[in-house]
């Protein structure tokens, strides 16, 4: 029997995957830094494990065939945490890692956090694992949250387009791959929505569906850094927030993929579809 392990089970994406696999009747091993926060699901064993190379993590991963590695929370040491965890997986004998990466991940990506993802992908390959990389674009959920919470979208994205994807679509893809991993072995799948939109087009759709005026406010890079100072943060965080929009302006988040449709045999959910669902 294939042994499946999941990280991120107390978060949004990993939680959806855990639920999907439980409903499919699959036994899974859930790894959580705080096991008490993990949902109690049928067929799931919960192990205490953080993103580190420790005896505790090696024990948690011993005997695992396929591992869903949801990327660690954003922090300046995330790449080292990933490497430590991958080292533990190698020591434990894990065979296949499904990793949630980022669309167009590259060492010189404009979106600063995408660089960690590129390095993590390389480290997984270098260590001899079979792999499946799910390269998520920015989440539709993020832009919709901006519209609903702040009543606007603003940033230096110019007229660049982004093929944003719904988080739950990515989770369903991950669950489908864990059910049939050999079919997706050693593949990189691009997770995009069904359309490319500018942020002005997103704001326009949100205005129509939510029934209120939601503008897109074009900022300069300098204005973007200044406006985000209302949230106390470290420099690396400001860089990541602002580079989200610069990457869109540069066209690095544009482009469409059919990979979600290949896995799920349906089209991904669109920005308008998600808004309409929320507005019901």
| pLDDT computed for residue 1 by the predictor | 81
Q: Tell me the pLDDT of the chain averaged across its residues.
A: 97
Q: Residue 279: which pLDDT band, with cuts at 50, 70 and 90? A: confident
Residue 77 belongs to some domain of the structure: yes
pTM of the full structure: 0.96
pLDDT (tens digit per residue) in 15-55: 999 999 999 999 999 999 999 999 999 999 999 999 999 99
Q: How many CB atoms lie within 10 A of CB 122?
A: 12
Percent of the chain with pLDDT over 70: 100
What's the CATH code of the domain at 16?
3.40.50.720
pLDDT reading at 280 higher than 90: no
Residue 115 belongs to some domain of the structure: yes
- Give the list of residues 6+ apart from residue 66 with CB closer than 8 angstroms, or none: 2, 3, 4, 5, 94, 95, 96, 97, 98, 178, 181
pLDDT (tens digit per residue) in 197-244: 999 999 999 999 999 999 999 999 999 999 999 999 999 999 999 999
User: In this structure, are residues 173 and 189 in contact, taking their beta carbons and an 8 Å threshold?
Assistant: yes
Alpha carbon distance 111, 109 (integer Å): 5
pLDDT reading at 186 higher than 90: yes
> CA–CA distance from 131 to each of 11, 13, 94 (Å)?
22, 19, 11
Q: What is the mean pLDDT of residues 187-198?
A: 98
Residue 251 belongs to some domain of the structure: no
Residue 255 belongs to some domain of the structure: no
Q: What is the mean pLDDT of residues 136-159?
A: 97
Residue 30 belongs to some domain of the structure: yes
Q: Residue 99: which pLDDT band, with cuts at 50, 70 and 90? A: very high
pLDDT reading at 251 higher than 90: yes
Percent of the chain with pLDDT over 90: 99
pLDDT (tens digit per residue) in 113-122: 999 999 999 9
How many structural domains is the chain composed of? 1
Residue 81 belongs to some domain of the structure: yes
Residue 264 belongs to some domain of the structure: no
Range of the domain at 11: 4-136+167-191
* Angle, CA of 44, 61 and 39, to the nearest 5°: 25
pLDDT (tens digit per residue) in 70-79: 999 999 999 9
Residue 25 belongs to some domain of the structure: yes
> CA–CA distance from 126 to each of 66, 67, 111, 212 (Å)?
17, 17, 24, 51
Alpha carbon distance 41, 25 (integer Å): 10
Q: Residue 266: which pLDDT band, with cuts at 50, 70 and 90? A: very high
Q: What is the mean pLDDT of residues 172-187?
A: 97
């Amino acid at each position: 029997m294939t042994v499946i392990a999941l990280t991120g089970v107390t978060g949004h994406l990993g939680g959806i995957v855990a639920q999907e696999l439980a409903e499919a009747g699959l036994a899974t091993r859930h790894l959580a830094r705080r096991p008490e926060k993990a949902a109690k699901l049928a067929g799931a064993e919960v192990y205490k494990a953080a993103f580190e190379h420790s005896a505790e993590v090696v024990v948690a991963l011993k005997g695992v065939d396929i591992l869903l590695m949801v990327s660690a929370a954003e922090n300046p040491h995330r790449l080292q945490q990933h490497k430590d965890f991958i080292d533990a997986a190698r020591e434990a004998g894990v065979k296949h890692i499904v990793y949630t990466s980022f669309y167009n991940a590259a060492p010189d990506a404009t979106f600063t956090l995408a660089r960690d993802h590129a390095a993590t992908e390389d480290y997984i390959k270098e260590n001899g694992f079979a792999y499946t990389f799910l390269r998520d674009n920015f989440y539709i959920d993020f832009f919709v949250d901006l519209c609903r919470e702040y009543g606007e979208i603003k940033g230096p994205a110019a007229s660049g387009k982004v093929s944003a994807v719904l988080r739950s679509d990515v989770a369903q893809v991950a669950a489908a791959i864990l059910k049939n991993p050999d079919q997706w072995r050693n593949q990189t799948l691009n997770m995009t929505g069904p359309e490319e939109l500018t942020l002005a087009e997103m704001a326009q759709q949100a205005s129509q569906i939510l029934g209120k005026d939601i503008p897109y406010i074009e900022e300069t890079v300098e204005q973007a850094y200044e406006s985000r100072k209302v949230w106390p943060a470290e420099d690396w965080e400001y860089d990541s927030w602002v580079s989200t929009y610069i990457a869109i302006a540069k066209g690095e988040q544009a482009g469409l993929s059919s990979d979600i449709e290949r896995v799920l045999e349906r089209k991904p959910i669109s920005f308008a579809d998600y808004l309409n669902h929320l507005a019901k």
